[in-house]
Amino acid sequence: MKICFVTFGCRLNRAESLDLEAQYAAAGWDIVQLPSGEETDTLDDSVPDVIVVRGCSVTAKAQRDCEKKIAQLRTRFPAAEILTVGCHPDAKPIPPHLAPPSLPDADTPVNRRLSRAYLKVQDGCSGKCAFCIVPSFRGVPVSVPFEQALARARAYIDAGFREIVVTGCNLCLYHDSNRRLPELVSAIAGLESSGHRVRLGSIEPGLCDTSLLNAMEANPNICRFLHLSLQSGSNRMLRLMRRPYTIEQVEEFCVDATRRFGERLAFGADVITGFPGETDADFEATKAFISSHLPFPITHLSSPISHLPFLIPHLHIFPYSERERTEAATMTPVVPVEVRRARVKELEIIAVANHERFAHSLIGQEVEVCVERDGNGRTDEYVRCLLKGTAPRRSIVRAVVDDYFPKTGSLSATIRA
């Protein structure tokens, strides 16, 4: 039997698809790719008997894209059985006659198709965010047992992976006995190897505290990259969104992190524009928070500083999208769709400027790059890098940055001998 996987959405979805693919491969199924080359690493022209689509419905657009792809697949492969799983209203359990033999655990064979390993350690969320539909798909928080997660990470290292991306629905809710995310990533970082690093997926402001920064400080091989589920720079919007933090708490966390790790620490952030009730003033507060145009005064810290000394070079910006069965779907006043989209464009200009400013600061600096296909990879700070020189796929190399190409958002760097 031939089976194909199509995945939408986040790193967690990617981790789940890769684990499932490994299970089917271990059971003797033939893993194939879409014939037209639409999926990454397409190498096989075989027609699948079964197609597993792991959906995403975090936004209306994501759901539409998923449903459009399913319709196309039904037309192109009328004889194939198409299974929809994951975060989608039509998702169903895989029927017994097509199910793999067991659930993912430490003994599941490692999927070697990608250059970085995706390690799922947590699922579900207890948050009550007004806009979010994910808990209706993912359920309550569940954590992978500490030793099982550690054994899985060790299996990835033994298989040759040198970057492990730790993923979860809400990573900061990881909890096994008295061990939480900082203890887990410290243990993964401390595994014996010829050299590996750990990258964190998105983290929730207000839930991850300084203990996570302590873990990073104690383990230099935890990537200096923190992606925050920020959503807004306005406290009024954060309250309406039912987010569990204030913008001052986010500022203080970022300032503390930058004081510890310096300007090479890269931040990322998710931002929503046009949430119900968002005024021009609320939007300006978000612009001010993410803007590279300093200064931005901070007065609430115990040791006040005159300006906000950090930059957010990685921004994911989304127009607000109504999701049925969420509180926000009935909230007013509704921001017109054209205003939401216009605000996205404004923030995207800032995002490009932030990324360019950060990337230019790396020129002449030595970076560590996890080598992927075609001589490129990602730096510790999660900047795309084109490498001059050769190195094995999945290895981590040191290279000196020569230039930055704005059109592709990529650095170029020469591998050190």
In 115-246, alpha helices (H):
134-138, 146-158, 181-189, 210-218, 235-241
Question: Given the structure tokens 């192109």, which residue do they identify?
Answer: 76
Average pLDDT over residues 104-126: 85
Q: Which of 110-114, 119-123, 388-392 has the lowest mean pLDDT?
A: 110-114
Going by pLDDT thresholds of 50, 70 and 90, the confidence category of residue 405 is very high
pLDDT at residue 102, rounded to an integer: 63
φ and ψ at residue 254, rounded to 5 degrees: -65, -40
For residue 401, pLDDT over 90 is answered with: yes
Q: List the Cα angle 129/64/229 in 5-degree steps.
A: 30
pLDDT at 261 over 60: yes
Long-range CB contacts (within 8 A, 24+) of 344-351: 344/273, 344/317, 344/318, 344/319, 346/287, 347/271, 347/273, 347/286, 347/287, 347/290, 347/315, 347/317, 348/315, 348/317, 350/287, 350/290, 350/291, 350/292, 350/315, 351/290, 351/315, 351/317
Does residue 5 have a pLDDT over 70? Answer: yes
**Mean of the pLDDT values across residues 343-368?**
95
CATH topology of domain 117-361: pyruvate-formate lyase- activating enzyme (3.80.30)
Could you identify the residue written with the tokens 């996570």?
A: 212
- Tokens representing residue 393 in the block: 């796929």
* In the predicted structure, residue 304 carries a pLDDT above the cut 50: no
pLDDT at 83: 95
Which residue ranges make up each domain of the chain? 2-98, 117-361, 366-415
396 has pLDDT over 90: yes
Is the predicted pLDDT of residue 394 greater than 60, yes or no?
Answer: yes
pLDDT tops 50 at residue 306 = no
**CA 162 – CA 200 distance, rounded (Å):** 14
In Å, how far are 345, 353, 366, 382 from 405, measured between CA atoms? 21, 13, 17, 15
Residue closest to 317 by CA, chosen among 280, 295, 342: 342
Give the model's pLDDT for residue 33: 84
Whole-number percent of the chain with pLDDT over 70:
91
Question: What is the average pLDDT across 309-334?
Answer: 94
Do 8 and 84 contact (CB within 8 A), yes or no? Answer: no
Residue type at 74 in one-letter notation: R
On whether the CB atoms of residues 324 and 385 are closer than 8 A, the answer is no
pLDDT of residue 292: 57
Distance of CA 45 to the CA centre of its chain: 30
* Among 34, 50, 39, CA closest to 2: 50
Query: For every residue of 9-32, which 3-state class applies, written as one string?
Result: CCHHHHHHHHHHHHHHHHCCCEEC
Q: What is the mean pLDDT of the chain?
A: 90
Q: Rounded CA gap, 157 and 313, in Å?
A: 29
Is residue 37's pLDDT more than 60? no
How many whole angstroms separate alpha carbon 42 and alpha carbon 32? 8
Mean pLDDT over residues 88-111, rounded? 79
| The CATH number of domain 2-98 is 3.40.50 | yes
pLDDT number for residue 208: 86
Q: What is the pLDDT of residue 373?
A: 85
Does residue 298 surpass a pLDDT of 90?
Answer: no
Query: Average of pLDDT values for 221-225?
Result: 98
411 vs 110, residue with greater confidence: 411
Residue 106 predicted with pLDDT over 60: no
Average pLDDT, integer, range 246-268: 92
pLDDT band at 43 (very low <50, low <70, confident <90, very high): very low
Cis, peptide link before residue 101, omega less than 30° from 0: no
**pLDDT bucket at 110, cuts 50 / 70 / 90:** confident
Nearby residues of 312 by Cβ (< 8 Å), 6 or more positions away: 267, 268, 269, 290, 354
**Residue 367 has what pLDDT?**
98
What's at 233, amino acid-wise?
G
Percentage, residues of the chain above pLDDT 90: 80
The pLDDT of residue 45 is: 53
